[in-house]
Amino acid sequence: MHYTAPLKDIRFVMDALAGLAEVQALPGFEDAGSETVDAVLEENARLAQEVVAPLNRTGDVQPSTWADGEVTTTPGFKQAFEAYAQGGWQGLQHPPEYGGQGLPKLLAAACNENLHAANLSFALCPLLTDGAIEALLTAGSDEQKSLYVPHLIDGSWTGTMNLTEPQAGSDLSLVRTRAEPQPDGSYRLFGQKIFITYGEHDMAENIVHLVLARTPDAPAGVKGISLFLVPKVVPDAQGGLGPRNDVYCASIEHKLGIKASPTTVLVFGDGKGDVGTGAVGYAVGEINRGLEYMFVMMNAARFAVGVEGVAIAERAYQQAVAYARDRTQSRAVEGSAAAIPIIGHPDVRRMLMTMRALTEGARAVAYVGAGARDIADHHPDAAVRTERQAFFEYLVPVIKGFSTEMSLEVTSLAVQVHGGMGFIEETGVAQHYRDARILPIYEGTTAIQANDLVSRKTVRDGGTVAHSIIAQIRATADELREAGLASVAEGLSAVADAYEAIVSYLLDNARDAVRDVFAGSVPYLMFAGYALGAWQMGRAALAASQRVADGDTDGFLAAKIVTARFYAEHLVPRALALRAQIVEGAESVLALSDDAF
Ligand SMILES: Cc1cc2nc3c(=O)[nH]c(=O)nc-3n(C[C@H](O)[C@H](O)[C@H](O)COP(=O)(O)OP(=O)(O)OC[C@H]3O[C@@H](n4cnc5c(N)ncnc54)[C@H](O)[C@@H]3O)c2cc1C
């Protein structure tokens, strides 16, 4: 099934909601003019549609394979990655001094959405490399930056994130991989990591593993975790490839979805390479501050996984619409001479509108987050930088948690629109459903995102960011009322009232009724996702109606206003229902003893 990059919505969201013009005016983005943005989006759409998307189904039926420690990726992936690397895509958002193009994260988010929509399995490799680049730029030494980052940017090397171990998943304080200091200042690593995405593959000549491990005298828990760089092949000072390191891919997993993405078990220090026993590694930043640095990488990756949710939802929506136009079944409820295309049945429209509204709302929230991040990184005024950074950080768990959860609903609805054919693999829509299932799990499950949203992002600052969002939602509701968009305005006002009540409840009870608060943490995350989506769809309706008033007759704008109304009338009620779960629902969640289950 063909994929078409939704450039019209992407461009609308960038301009009208995510503040592209403000981003373009920031120091450092002089080269990111509108012509460049358009050209990049067009070229990216071409790569996604013509080179990467056709390999999506191939990857599902011919996944990566493992033999003797080597991984062979799906036929065509290597060539597609070459095209990706040669096009300079990996460097899009990274600094020019290391070979990147230094373009806004907002633009990168749009490009990544298209790449993920085209092929989730393929796009994971660049996603992790982006995270590795960010971590090295944040915490790496000058020497590490100049030796590794240019290779990661030009695609000759790729990056991984090595956190998970059999006994350490959500809880990284349990990491046991050992890093032993060597007289020359380097380390030797011993241990096993599991579930490492693209931990081994044949698309690049080297792999840069960023690994969480403990030094021998490290304190217990998260305070004793350090970050190490472990190259698959140890480079010399000029970046020439030297001996094979002692890190070995013991196997790859057989999975429900994203089958082409190799999910590897990596063994460090088994004596299998050319460097003796122990994988040669280098500390990144200071010892025992690894988790802090990894958070930089995780924030980038969590945001990117949220964008994966938007992407797979868009892909599934497109496929469902195409099928609904094509499939003829049943006469119209109001009567018709013959059976009609199913897109004419009210319930099919309900499904398509739900998919469309969820996807557009989540896209808007994600891009607004990316725009905020650009301002946080580049604005000349420190107070603005701090405020935008706090806003971005509040959004990250919501973007990650909500967009990925909603992608399960959207991909499931896409199967439903297809009827029995949805359950049949040849249609390809079942693959989106299976592929999406990992998104709320990796990079921190939805519960872990929700814990972050409650404690670090809401309670720790006394609700400051949440209250400023609520005030902005109220302001948008007022503007909508003035513009005559009554149902959207009423929906937003109700959301703002509920948001206030929920945040007060969290702040009042976080200390003395902590279990109650966390019984409602995922419902709070979902509430925030709907509330932020409703807010952005309200802003979208305002911008669209302004353009219509200015004489723009593009049907896209009228459709945007209808979609915003649908959001307010059909999805906002879901948000409002969550309030009772959060504020009054804890008792029954927690009442049963463990034995009673
Ligand atoms: C395909 C795939 C690719 C992956 N890629 C990578 C990678 O590249 N690098 C990497 O390091 N890891 C990777 N992972 C690992 C992934 O990040 C973990 O699986 C994930 O963080 C969950 O950890 P876990 O599997 O140990 O589950 P657990 O931590 O055992 O969680 C099980 C359940 O308990 C819940 N739970 C746990 N703790 C809490 C809590 N404090 N509060 C509430 N609920 C809780 C979880 O939400 C979940 O529902 C990958 C996994 C998969 C399947």
Q: Assess whether pLDDT exceeds 80 at residue 1.
A: no
Percent of the chain with pLDDT over 70: 100
Residue type, 42: E
Average of per-residue pLDDT values in the chain = 97
Q: pTM of the predicted model, to two decimals?
A: 0.98
User: Ligand 1 centroid to 442 CA: how many Å?
Assistant: 6
Spatial distance between the Cα atoms of 372 and 390, rounded to a whole number of angstroms: 9
User: Ligand 1 centroid to 189 CA: how many Å?
Assistant: 23
Q: Assess whether pLDDT exceeds 80 at residue 297.
A: no
Spatial distance between the Cα atoms of 480 and 485, rounded to a whole number of angstroms: 5
Q: Using the atom order of ligand 1, give the atom closest to the CA of residue 446.
A: 47
Would strands 206-213 and 226-231 be described as parallel, antiparallel, or unpaired?
antiparallel
Q: Assess whether pLDDT exceeds 90 at residue 50.
A: yes
pLDDT of residue 303: 97
Pocket test for ligand 1, best of 160, 201, 445, 454 (most atoms within 8 A of CB): 445
Contact 264 CB / ligand 1 (< 6 Å): no
pLDDT, tens only, 99-140:
999 999 999 999 999 999 999 999 999 999 999 999 999 999
Please give the distance of CA 148 from its chain centroid, rounded to a whole number: 24
Q: Using the atom order of ligand 1, give the atom closest to the CA of residue 170.
A: 29
CA-closest candidate to residue 210, choices 226, 223, 221: 226
User: Ligand 1 centroid to 51 CA: how many Å?
Assistant: 32
Known active-site residue 443: yes
Contact between residue 375 and residue 384 where contact means Cβ atoms under 8 Å apart = yes
User: Ligand 1 centroid to 89 CA: how many Å?
Assistant: 29
Give SS3 for 242. Answer: strand
Q: Give 79's pLDDT tier (boundaries 50, 70, 90).
A: very high
Spatial distance between the Cα atoms of 246 and 230, rounded to a whole number of angstroms: 9
Contact between residue 210 and residue 176 where contact means Cβ atoms under 8 Å apart = no
Would strands 157-162 and 206-213 be described as parallel, antiparallel, or unpaired?
parallel
pLDDT of residue 291: 86
% helix, strand, coil for the chain, step of 5: 60, 10, 25
Contact 161 CB / ligand 1 (< 6 Å): yes
Q: Assess whether pLDDT exceeds 80 at residue 586.
A: yes
For ligand 1, atom 13, name the residue with the nearest CA. 195
Contact 447 CB / ligand 1 (< 6 Å): yes
pLDDT, tens only, 199-245:
999 999 999 999 999 999 999 999 999 999 999 999 999 999 999 99
Q: What is the mean pLDDT of residues 297-301?
A: 84
* Contacts of range 92-99, beta carbons closer than 8 Å, 24 or more positions apart: 92/40, 93/130, 94/130, 94/133, 94/137, 94/149, 94/153, 95/137, 98/137, 98/145, 98/146, 98/149, 98/150, 98/153, 99/149, 99/150, 99/153, 99/154
User: Ligand 1 centroid to 255 CA: how many Å?
Assistant: 15
pLDDT of residue 254: 97
From 314, 425, 443, 587, the catalytic residue: 443
Residue 272 in tokens: 């299998």
Q: What is the mean pLDDT of residues 592-597?
A: 98
Contact 174 CB / ligand 1 (< 6 Å): no
Spatial distance between the Cα atoms of 207 and 231, rounded to a whole number of angstroms: 6
Contact 169 CB / ligand 1 (< 6 Å): yes
Contact 158 CB / ligand 1 (< 6 Å): no
Contact 156 CB / ligand 1 (< 6 Å): no
Q: Assess whether pLDDT exceeds 90 at residue 10.
A: yes
Spatial distance between the Cα atoms of 149 and 138, rounded to a whole number of angstroms: 12
Spatial distance between the Cα atoms of 496 and 533, rounded to a whole number of angstroms: 13
- Give 303's contacts (C-beta < 8 A, 6+ positions apart): 109, 366, 369, 370, 373, 396, 399, 400
Run of H or E including 330: none
Q: Using the atom order of ligand 1, give the atom closest to the CA of residue 451.
A: 42
Q: What is the mean pLDDT of residues 51-77?
A: 98
Q: Give 295's pLDDT tier (boundaries 50, 70, 90).
A: confident
pLDDT, tens only, 409-461:
999 999 999 999 999 999 999 999 999 999 999 999 999 999 999 999 999 99
Run of H or E including 157: strand 157-162
Contact 163 CB / ligand 1 (< 6 Å): yes
Please give the distance of CA 309 from its chain centroid, rounded to a whole number: 6
Contact between residue 306 and residue 313 where contact means Cβ atoms under 8 Å apart = no
Q: What is the mean pLDDT of residues 36-50?
A: 98
pLDDT, tens only, 303-331:
999 999 999 999 999 999 999 999 999 99
Would strands 241-244 and 233-235 be described as parallel, antiparallel, or unpaired?
antiparallel
Q: Assess whether pLDDT exceeds 90 at residue 294.
A: no
User: Ligand 1 centroid to 175 CA: how many Å?
Assistant: 13
Q: Assess whether pLDDT exceeds 80 at residue 296.
A: no
